[in-house]
Protein backbone atom coordinates (compact mmCIF):
# COMPACT_ATOMS: atom_id res chain seq x y z
CA UNK A 1 0.00 0.00 0.00
CA UNK A 2 1.41 3.35 -1.01
CA UNK A 3 0.80 6.21 1.36
CA UNK A 4 0.59 9.87 0.44
CA UNK A 5 3.51 11.92 1.83
CA UNK A 6 3.17 13.71 5.16
CA UNK A 7 1.52 17.10 4.69
CA UNK A 8 3.43 18.40 7.75
CA UNK A 9 6.91 16.86 7.38
CA UNK A 10 8.94 19.47 9.30
CA UNK A 11 9.62 19.42 13.03
CA UNK A 12 11.19 22.17 15.09
CA UNK A 13 12.46 20.85 18.41
CA UNK A 14 13.54 23.37 21.02
CA UNK A 15 14.67 22.45 24.51
CA UNK A 16 12.96 24.38 27.33
CA UNK A 17 15.21 26.76 29.33
CA UNK A 18 18.04 24.43 28.42
CA UNK A 19 20.86 25.48 30.77
CA UNK A 20 18.47 25.72 33.72
CA UNK A 21 17.03 22.27 33.05
CA UNK A 22 20.52 20.71 32.79
CA UNK A 23 21.36 22.25 36.18
CA UNK A 24 18.06 21.05 37.64
CA UNK A 25 18.62 17.54 36.39
CA UNK A 26 21.91 17.48 38.28
CA UNK A 27 20.59 19.30 41.36
CA UNK A 28 16.93 18.53 42.07
CA UNK A 29 16.83 21.17 44.85
CA UNK A 30 16.54 23.72 42.00
CA UNK A 31 13.19 22.34 40.85
CA UNK A 32 10.10 24.54 41.06
CA UNK A 33 12.19 27.57 42.08
CA UNK A 34 13.00 30.67 40.05
CA UNK A 35 16.46 29.95 38.64
CA UNK A 36 18.78 31.96 36.41
CA UNK A 37 21.95 30.53 34.91
CA UNK A 38 24.65 33.00 33.97
CA UNK A 39 27.42 35.21 35.28
CA UNK A 40 27.17 35.53 39.06
CA UNK A 41 29.50 38.53 39.36
CA UNK A 42 28.61 42.22 39.31
CA UNK A 43 28.61 42.38 35.53
CA UNK A 44 27.00 38.98 35.00
CA UNK A 45 24.22 38.50 32.47
CA UNK A 46 21.34 35.98 32.49
CA UNK A 47 22.03 33.21 29.94
CA UNK A 48 18.92 31.15 30.70
CA UNK A 49 15.96 31.72 33.01
CA UNK A 50 13.46 29.20 34.37
CA UNK A 51 9.78 29.78 33.69
CA UNK A 52 9.30 30.66 37.38
CA UNK A 53 11.90 33.42 36.97
CA UNK A 54 10.35 34.57 33.68
CA UNK A 55 7.03 34.97 35.48
CA UNK A 56 8.79 37.65 37.53
CA UNK A 57 10.04 39.44 34.42
CA UNK A 58 13.50 37.88 34.24
CA UNK A 59 14.65 37.34 30.65
CA UNK A 60 17.86 36.15 29.05
CA UNK A 61 20.53 38.78 28.23
CA UNK A 62 19.31 40.82 31.23
CA UNK A 63 22.00 42.00 33.70
CA UNK A 64 21.99 39.61 36.66
CA UNK A 65 21.92 42.54 39.09
CA UNK A 66 18.64 43.69 37.60
CA UNK A 67 17.24 40.15 37.54
CA UNK A 68 17.94 39.80 41.27
CA UNK A 69 16.07 43.01 41.92
CA UNK A 70 13.05 41.87 39.88
CA UNK A 71 12.93 38.51 41.57
CA UNK A 72 13.95 38.53 45.23
CA UNK A 73 14.18 34.77 45.68
CA UNK A 74 16.05 34.19 42.40
CA UNK A 75 18.55 31.31 42.62
CA UNK A 76 21.59 32.23 40.55
CA UNK A 77 23.71 29.36 39.23
CA UNK A 78 26.95 29.91 37.36
CA UNK A 79 27.11 28.41 33.87
CA UNK A 80 28.81 25.05 33.13
CA UNK A 81 29.29 25.15 29.40
CA UNK A 82 31.06 21.80 29.03
CA UNK A 83 28.02 20.17 30.59
CA UNK A 84 25.64 21.96 28.20
CA UNK A 85 27.74 20.93 25.21
CA UNK A 86 27.54 17.30 26.34
CA UNK A 87 23.79 17.57 26.84
CA UNK A 88 23.48 19.18 23.41
CA UNK A 89 25.37 16.32 21.84
CA UNK A 90 23.03 13.83 23.53
CA UNK A 91 19.96 15.72 22.37
CA UNK A 92 21.20 15.92 18.78
CA UNK A 93 22.03 12.20 18.77
CA UNK A 94 18.38 11.56 19.53
CA UNK A 95 17.30 13.84 16.66
CA UNK A 96 19.67 12.06 14.27
CA UNK A 97 18.39 8.67 15.31
CA UNK A 98 15.12 9.68 13.61
CA UNK A 99 16.48 11.31 10.46
CA UNK A 100 19.83 12.42 9.03
CA UNK A 101 18.10 15.63 7.87
CA UNK A 102 18.78 17.62 11.03
CA UNK A 103 19.61 21.32 10.81
CA UNK A 104 20.94 22.72 14.07
CA UNK A 105 19.62 26.23 14.76
CA UNK A 106 21.45 26.64 18.08
CA UNK A 107 22.92 24.52 20.88
CA UNK A 108 19.47 23.31 21.93
CA UNK A 109 17.24 23.61 18.89
CA UNK A 110 16.95 22.03 15.45
CA UNK A 111 14.78 21.51 12.41
CA UNK A 112 14.09 17.94 11.34
CA UNK A 113 12.78 16.82 7.97
CA UNK A 114 10.93 13.58 8.69
CA UNK A 115 9.46 12.92 5.23
CA UNK A 116 11.45 9.66 5.10
CA UNK A 117 9.58 8.21 8.09
CA UNK A 118 6.27 8.12 6.24
CA UNK A 119 5.99 4.34 6.17
CA UNK A 120 6.54 4.07 9.88
CA UNK A 121 4.17 6.65 11.30
CA UNK A 122 0.55 7.48 10.56
CA UNK A 123 1.00 11.09 11.58
CA UNK A 124 4.09 13.31 11.96
CA UNK A 125 2.78 14.29 15.39
CA UNK A 126 3.61 10.75 16.60
CA UNK A 127 7.26 11.38 15.74
CA UNK A 128 7.15 14.54 17.85
CA UNK A 129 5.58 12.67 20.77
CA UNK A 130 8.26 9.99 20.54
CA UNK A 131 11.09 12.52 20.37
CA UNK A 132 9.77 14.31 23.45
CA UNK A 133 9.48 11.15 25.45
CA UNK A 134 12.96 9.97 24.43
CA UNK A 135 14.42 13.35 25.38
CA UNK A 136 12.86 12.95 28.83
CA UNK A 137 13.86 9.33 29.28
CA UNK A 138 17.39 9.49 27.90
CA UNK A 139 18.60 13.00 28.76
CA UNK A 140 16.23 13.92 31.60
CA UNK A 141 15.42 17.18 29.81
CA UNK A 142 12.15 18.67 28.53
CA UNK A 143 11.80 19.87 24.95
CA UNK A 144 8.95 21.38 22.95
CA UNK A 145 8.04 20.38 19.41
CA UNK A 146 6.33 22.19 16.56
CA UNK A 147 5.06 20.16 13.60
CA UNK A 148 4.12 21.89 10.36
CA UNK A 149 4.39 22.11 6.59
CA UNK A 150 7.55 24.25 6.69
CA UNK A 151 10.33 25.55 8.93
CA UNK A 152 8.76 28.91 9.61
CA UNK A 153 5.46 27.45 10.83
CA UNK A 154 7.17 24.65 12.76
CA UNK A 155 9.21 27.18 14.71
CA UNK A 156 6.17 29.31 15.51
CA UNK A 157 4.36 26.15 16.60
CA UNK A 158 7.12 25.08 19.01
CA UNK A 159 7.26 28.60 20.49
CA UNK A 160 3.50 28.44 21.03
CA UNK A 161 3.72 24.96 22.56
CA UNK A 162 6.29 26.02 25.17
CA UNK A 163 7.04 25.00 27.83
CA UNK A 164 7.12 21.22 27.58
CA UNK A 165 4.48 20.92 24.87
CA UNK A 166 3.76 19.89 21.32
CA UNK A 167 1.72 21.64 18.68
CA UNK A 168 0.92 20.57 15.16
CA UNK A 169 -0.24 23.23 12.75
CA UNK A 170 -2.22 21.07 10.35
CA UNK A 171 -1.96 21.74 6.64
CA UNK A 172 -4.99 23.84 5.76
CA UNK A 173 -5.30 25.32 9.25
CA UNK A 174 -2.21 27.51 8.87
CA UNK A 175 -3.88 30.84 8.24
CA UNK A 176 -6.21 30.33 11.17
CA UNK A 177 -3.17 29.75 13.43
CA UNK A 178 -1.07 32.52 11.96
CA UNK A 179 -3.34 35.50 11.45
CA UNK A 180 -4.24 36.35 15.06
CA UNK A 181 -0.54 36.46 16.06
CA UNK A 182 1.22 39.80 16.56
CA UNK A 183 3.58 40.71 13.69
CA UNK A 184 6.51 40.66 16.12
CA UNK A 185 6.31 36.85 16.11
CA UNK A 186 7.44 36.77 12.47
CA UNK A 187 11.06 36.14 11.53
CA UNK A 188 12.90 39.29 10.60
CA UNK A 189 10.59 41.66 12.48
CA UNK A 190 12.84 43.60 14.81
CA UNK A 191 12.36 47.03 16.38
CA UNK A 192 12.74 49.01 13.13
CA UNK A 193 10.40 46.82 11.06
CA UNK A 194 7.75 46.64 13.75
CA UNK A 195 7.84 50.45 14.06
CA UNK A 196 7.39 50.75 10.28
CA UNK A 197 4.48 48.29 10.38
CA UNK A 198 2.94 50.18 13.27
CA UNK A 199 3.00 53.38 11.19
CA UNK A 200 1.05 51.45 8.55
CA UNK A 201 -1.45 50.44 11.19
CA UNK A 202 -0.41 46.77 10.99
CA UNK A 203 -0.27 44.95 14.32
CA UNK A 204 -1.28 41.39 13.50
CA UNK A 205 -0.11 38.87 10.92
CA UNK A 206 -3.65 38.89 9.51
CA UNK A 207 -3.46 42.65 8.92
CA UNK A 208 -0.10 42.16 7.23
CA UNK A 209 -1.55 39.44 5.00
CA UNK A 210 -4.38 41.67 3.82
CA UNK A 211 -2.12 44.65 3.08
CA UNK A 212 -1.24 45.12 -0.60
CA UNK A 213 2.21 43.63 -1.19
CA UNK A 214 3.21 46.77 -3.14
CA UNK A 215 2.60 48.93 -0.07
CA UNK A 216 4.75 46.62 2.02
CA UNK A 217 7.55 46.69 -0.56
CA UNK A 218 7.45 50.47 -0.72
CA UNK A 219 7.64 50.94 3.05
CA UNK A 220 9.84 48.03 4.08
CA UNK A 221 12.02 47.52 1.04
CA UNK A 222 11.40 45.03 -1.72
CA UNK A 223 13.07 41.99 -0.11
CA UNK A 224 11.63 42.47 3.38
CA UNK A 225 8.21 43.43 2.03
CA UNK A 226 7.95 40.32 -0.13
CA UNK A 227 9.32 38.03 2.58
CA UNK A 228 6.92 39.24 5.26
CA UNK A 229 3.96 39.04 2.91
CA UNK A 230 4.85 35.41 2.08
CA UNK A 231 5.34 34.55 5.74
CA UNK A 232 1.99 36.12 6.58
CA UNK A 233 0.43 33.56 4.23
CA UNK A 234 2.49 30.74 5.74
CA UNK A 235 4.79 30.46 2.73
CA UNK A 236 8.37 29.38 3.36
CA UNK A 237 10.21 27.23 0.83
CA UNK A 238 13.54 26.87 2.61
CA UNK A 239 14.54 23.22 2.91
CA UNK A 240 15.99 21.70 6.06
CA UNK A 241 19.69 22.02 5.32
CA UNK A 242 21.86 19.75 7.45
CA UNK A 243 25.31 21.23 7.90
CA UNK A 244 28.30 19.08 6.98
CA UNK A 245 29.34 18.11 10.48
CA UNK A 246 25.77 17.24 11.33
CA UNK A 247 25.34 14.73 8.52
CA UNK A 248 25.19 11.58 10.53
CA UNK A 249 22.74 8.97 11.61
CA UNK A 250 22.98 7.06 14.84
CA UNK A 251 21.32 4.74 17.32
CA UNK A 252 21.99 4.79 21.01
CA UNK A 253 20.38 3.73 24.22
CA UNK A 254 20.74 4.52 27.89
CA UNK A 255 20.06 1.47 30.07
CA UNK A 256 18.04 1.42 33.23
CA UNK A 257 20.60 -0.98 34.67
CA UNK A 258 24.25 -0.59 33.78
CA UNK A 259 25.84 -3.24 31.56
CA UNK A 260 28.78 -4.85 33.31
CA UNK A 261 29.79 -7.48 30.78
CA UNK A 262 31.58 -7.09 27.42
CA UNK A 263 29.48 -9.71 25.67
CA UNK A 264 26.29 -7.89 26.69
CA UNK A 265 27.72 -4.64 25.39
CA UNK A 266 28.63 -6.32 22.11
CA UNK A 267 25.13 -7.77 21.84
CA UNK A 268 23.70 -4.28 22.31
CA UNK A 269 26.10 -2.97 19.67
CA UNK A 270 24.85 -5.63 17.27
CA UNK A 271 21.24 -4.76 17.99
CA UNK A 272 22.00 -1.07 17.35
CA UNK A 273 23.84 -1.92 14.10
CA UNK A 274 20.83 -3.85 12.80
CA UNK A 275 18.57 -0.92 13.66
CA UNK A 276 20.99 1.61 12.18
CA UNK A 277 21.23 -0.41 9.01
CA UNK A 278 17.44 -0.36 8.69
CA UNK A 279 17.31 3.39 9.20
CA UNK A 280 20.03 4.05 6.64
CA UNK A 281 18.29 1.91 4.06
CA UNK A 282 15.04 3.66 4.74
CA UNK A 283 16.58 7.04 3.89
CA UNK A 284 18.82 5.60 1.14
CA UNK A 285 22.18 6.38 2.73
CA UNK A 286 25.60 4.76 2.95
CA UNK A 287 28.20 5.79 5.51
CA UNK A 288 31.97 5.84 5.39
CA UNK A 289 32.92 6.59 9.01
CA UNK A 290 31.64 4.50 11.90
CA UNK A 291 31.59 5.94 15.41
CA UNK A 292 31.01 4.10 18.66
CA UNK A 293 30.05 5.86 21.86
CA UNK A 294 30.21 4.36 25.33
CA UNK A 295 29.19 6.17 28.48
CA UNK A 296 30.27 4.70 31.80
CA UNK A 297 28.27 4.69 35.02
CA UNK A 298 30.31 7.68 36.24
CA UNK A 299 29.18 9.59 33.11
CA UNK A 300 32.59 9.62 31.46
CA UNK A 301 31.94 9.27 27.73
CA UNK A 302 34.35 7.66 25.26
CA UNK A 303 34.11 8.05 21.47
CA UNK A 304 35.97 5.95 18.90
CA UNK A 305 35.72 6.28 15.14
CA UNK A 306 36.95 4.33 12.16
CA UNK A 307 37.01 5.14 8.46
CA UNK A 308 35.84 2.10 6.52
CA UNK A 309 37.39 0.84 3.27
CA UNK A 310 34.01 1.18 1.52
CA UNK A 311 30.84 3.09 2.29
CA UNK A 312 28.23 0.71 3.61
CA UNK A 313 24.87 0.41 5.30
CA UNK A 314 24.91 -3.25 6.20
CA UNK A 315 24.59 -4.24 9.82
CA UNK A 316 27.35 -6.78 9.45
CA UNK A 317 29.98 -4.31 8.22
CA UNK A 318 29.09 -1.84 10.90
CA UNK A 319 29.12 -4.45 13.64
CA UNK A 320 32.55 -5.75 12.59
CA UNK A 321 34.03 -2.27 12.69
CA UNK A 322 32.18 -1.49 15.92
CA UNK A 323 33.50 -4.57 17.70
CA UNK A 324 37.02 -3.61 16.62
CA UNK A 325 36.48 -0.17 18.14
CA UNK A 326 35.02 -1.63 21.33
CA UNK A 327 38.14 -3.79 21.68
CA UNK A 328 40.05 -0.57 22.14
CA UNK A 329 37.92 0.53 25.09
CA UNK A 330 38.58 -0.71 28.60
CA UNK A 331 35.22 -2.16 29.64
CA UNK A 332 36.45 -4.20 32.57
CA UNK A 333 36.71 -1.61 35.31
CA UNK A 334 33.44 0.28 35.07
CA UNK A 335 29.87 -0.58 34.15
CA UNK A 336 28.38 1.00 31.05
CA UNK A 337 25.18 3.04 31.05
CA UNK A 338 24.96 3.98 27.36
CA UNK A 339 25.99 2.32 24.11
CA UNK A 340 25.70 4.10 20.79
CA UNK A 341 26.77 3.61 17.20
CA UNK A 342 26.58 6.07 14.33
CA UNK A 343 27.68 6.62 10.76
CA UNK A 344 28.96 9.87 9.25
CA UNK A 345 30.29 10.88 5.84
CA UNK A 346 26.98 9.86 4.35
CA UNK A 347 26.35 9.42 0.65
CA UNK A 348 23.31 8.37 -1.34
CA UNK A 349 23.04 4.62 -1.74
CA UNK A 350 21.82 5.10 -5.30
CA UNK A 351 25.15 6.74 -6.21
CA UNK A 352 27.46 4.51 -8.29
CA UNK A 353 29.71 2.49 -6.05
CA UNK A 354 32.13 -0.31 -6.39
CA UNK A 355 30.51 -3.68 -6.02
CA UNK A 356 32.20 -5.74 -3.38
CA UNK A 357 31.64 -9.12 -1.88
CA UNK A 358 29.29 -7.39 0.56
CA UNK A 359 26.48 -7.35 -1.89
CA UNK A 360 25.52 -10.89 -1.12
CA UNK A 361 25.06 -9.91 2.51
CA UNK A 362 23.13 -6.84 1.42
CA UNK A 363 20.56 -9.12 -0.15
CA UNK A 364 20.21 -10.89 3.16
CA UNK A 365 19.96 -7.58 4.96
CA UNK A 366 17.29 -6.39 2.52
CA UNK A 367 15.28 -9.50 3.23
CA UNK A 368 15.63 -8.89 6.97
CA UNK A 369 14.44 -5.31 6.45
CA UNK A 370 11.39 -6.50 4.57
CA UNK A 371 10.46 -8.85 7.37
CA UNK A 372 10.94 -6.04 9.91
CA UNK A 373 8.67 -3.79 7.93
CA UNK A 374 5.98 -6.42 7.83
CA UNK A 375 6.26 -7.96 11.25
CA UNK A 376 8.11 -5.47 13.47
CA UNK A 377 11.64 -5.15 14.78
CA UNK A 378 11.73 -8.32 16.85
CA UNK A 379 10.83 -10.66 13.99
CA UNK A 380 14.29 -11.47 12.71
CA UNK A 381 17.37 -11.15 14.84
CA UNK A 382 20.88 -12.22 13.91
CA UNK A 383 21.66 -15.57 15.52
CA UNK A 384 24.09 -14.18 18.04
CA UNK A 385 21.62 -11.65 19.30
CA UNK A 386 18.83 -14.18 19.53
CA UNK A 387 21.09 -16.20 21.82
CA UNK A 388 21.72 -13.30 24.17
CA UNK A 389 18.41 -11.47 24.05
CA UNK A 390 17.05 -13.59 26.84
CA UNK A 391 19.76 -12.63 29.28
CA UNK A 392 19.30 -8.99 28.29
CA UNK A 393 15.58 -8.99 28.99
CA UNK A 394 16.18 -10.81 32.24
CA UNK A 395 18.23 -7.87 33.31
CA UNK A 396 15.34 -5.63 32.40
CA UNK A 397 17.29 -3.44 30.03
CA UNK A 398 15.90 -4.33 26.64
MG1 LIG B 1 15.57 26.52 23.78
Q: In 3-state terms, what secondary structure has residue 311? A: strand
How far is ligand 1, taken at its centre, from the CA of residue 109, in Å?
6
User: Given pLDDT bands bounded at 50, 70 and 90, which one contains residue 283?
Assistant: confident
> Is pLDDT above 90 for 213?
yes
> First and final CA of the chain: distance in angstroms?
31
Strands 46-49 and 35-38 come out as antiparallel
Higher pLDDT, 77 or 347: 77
Interval 260-283 mean pLDDT? 88
String of DSSP letters for 6-65: PSS-EEEEEESSHHHHHHHHH-GGGTTS-EEEE--STT-BEEEE-HHHHTTT--TTSBHH
Strands 285-296 and 347-348 come out as antiparallel
Residues 6+ apart with CB under 8 A from 1: none
Asked if 357 and 262 touch (Cβ cutoff 8 Å), the reply is no
10-54 confidence digits (pLDDT tens): 999 999 999 999 999 999 999 999 999 998 877 788 999 999 999
Residue 105's pLDDT is: 85
Higher pLDDT, 367 or 114: 114
User: Given pLDDT bands bounded at 50, 70 and 90, which one contains residue 259?
Assistant: very high
How far is ligand 1, taken at its centre, from the CA of residue 137, in Å?
18
Asked if 178 and 126 touch (Cβ cutoff 8 Å), the reply is no
Handedness of CA 372, 378, 379, 381 (dihedral sign): positive
Rounded Cα–Cα distance for residues 176 and 315 (Å): 46
Residue 356's pLDDT is: 41
52-111 confidence digits (pLDDT tens): 999 999 998 889 999 999 999 999 999 998 899 899 999 999 999 999 899 988 889 999
How far is ligand 1, taken at its centre, from the CA of residue 306, in Å?
33
Taking only Cα atoms into account, the Rg of the chain, rounded to an integer number of angstroms, comes to 24
User: Given pLDDT bands bounded at 50, 70 and 90, which one contains residue 339?
Assistant: very high
> Is pLDDT above 90 for 383?
no
Higher pLDDT, 250 or 56: 56
Rounded Cα–Cα distance for residues 353 and 7 (Å): 34
Rounded Cα–Cα distance for residues 57 and 68 (Å): 10
Interval 136-162 mean pLDDT? 97
What protein residues have CB closer than 5 angstroms to ion ligand 1? 14-15, 108
Task: Say what percent of the chain tops pLDDT 70.
Answer: 86
Asked if 256 and 396 touch (Cβ cutoff 8 Å), the reply is yes
String of DSSP letters for 243-297: -GGG-EEEEEEEEEEEE--HHHHHHHHHHHHHHHHHHHHHTTEEEEEEEEEEEET
User: Given pLDDT bands bounded at 50, 70 and 90, which one contains residue 191?
Assistant: confident
Interval 141-159 mean pLDDT? 97
Interval 149-175 mean pLDDT? 97
Q: Phi and psi at residue 346, in whole multiples of 5°?
A: -80, 145
With CA atoms as reference, report the closest residue to 13 among 138, 118, 148: 148
> Is pLDDT above 80 for 374?
no
Catalytic residue numbers? 109
Interval 290-297 mean pLDDT? 92
Residue 291's pLDDT is: 94
How far is ligand 1, taken at its centre, from the CA of residue 251, in Å?
23
How far is ligand 1, taken at its centre, from the CA of residue 143, in Å?
8
103: left (phi over 0), alpha (psi -120 to 50) or beta: beta
With CA atoms as reference, report the closest residue to 368 among 357, 381, 385, 356: 381
How far is ligand 1, taken at its centre, from the CA of residue 392, in Å?
36
Amino acid sequence: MKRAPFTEPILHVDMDSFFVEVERRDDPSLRDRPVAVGGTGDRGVVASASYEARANGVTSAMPMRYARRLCRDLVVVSAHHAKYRQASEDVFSIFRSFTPLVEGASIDEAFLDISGLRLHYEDPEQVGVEIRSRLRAETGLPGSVGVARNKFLAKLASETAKPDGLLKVAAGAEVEFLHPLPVTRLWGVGAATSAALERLGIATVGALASAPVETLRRHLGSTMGTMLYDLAWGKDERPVDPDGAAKSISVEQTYEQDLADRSLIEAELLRHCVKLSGRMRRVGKLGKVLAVKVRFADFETVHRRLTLADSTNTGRDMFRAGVALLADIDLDRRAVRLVGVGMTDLSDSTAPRQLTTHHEWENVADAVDQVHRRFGDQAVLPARLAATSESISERGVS
